[in-house]
Amino acid sequence: MTTPKNDDAGPRLLSGGNPQIPKGEGDGPVQAYIAAMPGWKSDVGRRLDALVTSTLPDVRKAVKWNQPFYGAHEDRWFLSFRCYTKYVQVQFWQGTSLDPAPPKASKHDEVRYLDIHEDDELDEDQLRSWIEQAGRLPGAKV
């Protein structure tokens, strides 16, 4: 059985409501991803993008594997985020090197996560600190 395609419906949402956006380099694909984030998650995406961009004005952006990536060095990435059913997950690719480390562990040794739920208050000072620290690290090749 196939699902009818509605070209006016915008990007397809994958499991958990994560937008399916074509891979691409630069701000355009990232903004397309953020615009396609469902409901309140789009506001979180805009806030995260603004925090990264204001903290590291020369940040590199791309969409890979249906999520925005941010990097400070060529082909190296320090942060990404994606939608899940009940939260937006921020991934710090070298999160164990941050002080303090983001709260959620990963099955990948160096990765740490921050899950943002709809009613959570964002600690923008802490996020900015993690972004600054992560931007100074060599980054992960993903």
34-93: pLDDT as tens digits: 999 999 999 999 999 999 999 999 999 999 999 999 999 888 999 999 999 999 999 999
Window from 1-5, 20-24, 30-34 with minimum mean pLDDT: 1-5
Residue 19: the pLDDT is 94
Q: What angle do CA 87, 90, 96 make, to 5 degrees?
A: 130
Domains in the chain with CATH codes: 13-136 (3.90.1150.200)
